[in-house]
Structure 1
Amino acid sequence: MIKRIGPTELDKKYFSLQPYKPTPIKANFDNVIVNKPWGCEYLMFKNPEAEIWHLSISHQRSTSMHCHPAKKTALVVLEGRALFSSLNESIELHPLDTVIIAPGTFHSTQSLSSAGTKVLEFETPPMKHDLFRLEDKYGRAQKGYEDRKEMTVDKSRIRLAKKDFGKINNLGTKKACIKLINNLKDIRSINTNHFELAILTSGSMVSGGTQESRKYLPPYAMSIEELKEVECKFNNVCVFLLGRHYEEK
């Protein structure tokens, strides 16, 4: 499932009730984990257009009800089940379910699995300070992102870089690959037995003719089948591919 949500009048109302004064963060996230009251997160991949964060949410814990006023977000469940909530609805998410969240849309994610839930968060543009917490079980409402005292050096986590482009990497029960797309041949070479989901992390794809053209920008998500069917022009495109191991299907 791929679901897209945007801000409603309720989001706009609650955002306007509190002052929002973001403070830029001066921190290097390359080799640290950020400890949270609900678990932890770390930066798994970055480029000038997007960041991918790996979240580990403990059972029954949840992120704050928050929004990102200036950046787009895509949430993808890797392992376990999650309850995704906006101000208007709640939906249960399963592995590889994806929610694309427009700027200014309040949302929260709760783990429903006894072993916890693993989530990937795609953020564009990279702006970790772009955070407004409306409600929080742990006393962080109206507070900014965690400071350095909540960060721990940890070089053991899976992190991907340019040298890993084209390689298949294991992410627990899932596999992932970062792939550059220059033409339709590159798309057709993607093995649908390996991957099910593609998330755009940089560049743009333009499909259709003059009257019906459509532009895809990060962090747009689509199934591999949809990606293979779209006739596009490509501009410095990089996609993040996700799939299940055979034994999980």
Structure 2
Amino acid sequence: MRTTTSRKAGMTTTAVVTGASSGIGAAVARRLAKEGYDVVLVARRGELLDRVAAETGGRAVVLDVTDAEAVRAFADTLDACDVLVNNAGGALGADTVAEGSPAHWQQMYSVNVLGTLHLTQALLPLLRQDGGGTVVNITSTAAHCTYESGGGYSAAKHAQYALGETLRLELCGEPVRVVEVAPGMVHTEEFALNRFHGDRERASAVYAGVDRPLRAEDVAECVSFAVALPQHVNVDQLVVRPLAQAAQHKTHRGPLFQS
């Protein structure tokens, strides 16, 4: 186990992870708990969240990150926050710009961007305490390039990226780090399934023939690495893809590894 670099010698550090009921958020919560963090898990689905909280020994908080008032009330229940992982997000649909659903675009923006904004604003006072903290935004490679039928998701992730970049500039001179982890293809149990509204055939096709897409645990490892570095070291942006995916538009489908 890597030793977590804590600015509070001898004290437990607190990490708040959103979207923690499944996928990348659940994996991050498990990993940070393993590293010794007191983890506060945030998501909308209470039953799933309770299971992950039981595994990690963390605290489960059922919360809709798009509800600014509820987020502020949640922040008032915390005494400390050393790491905030803004992971709640996701994609809806794969339509062209011409045919895309404005409601889907609005929902993606609300969760990916405004959810990140609400948590960051509410927890910044705690992150600024006692030597500073770390904000980790889980974006996507879609935050840095576009692709056909991905306009709504890419637009939301570009906005989330811009939020983090701007925040880092505005916090210059304060001991608060702003980290972006931008994953490429990650095979989780729900991301593609949610995107295609429960169509398992379309969801499976995303990963068809790809030899070892990323797992949620791989992204959690990247988050753990970034936050464990000394407080004066800031990983501005960490882009992580499976080896089979050279770029957003170029993925090898077929055998890659011998075993």
Tell me the TM-score range normalised by the shorter chain: under 0.3
Q: Which has the higher helix share?
A: 2
Q: What is the TM-score normalised by the length of structure 1?
A: 0.24
Q: What is the TM-score normalised by the length of structure 2?
A: 0.24
Q: Which has the higher strand share?
A: 1
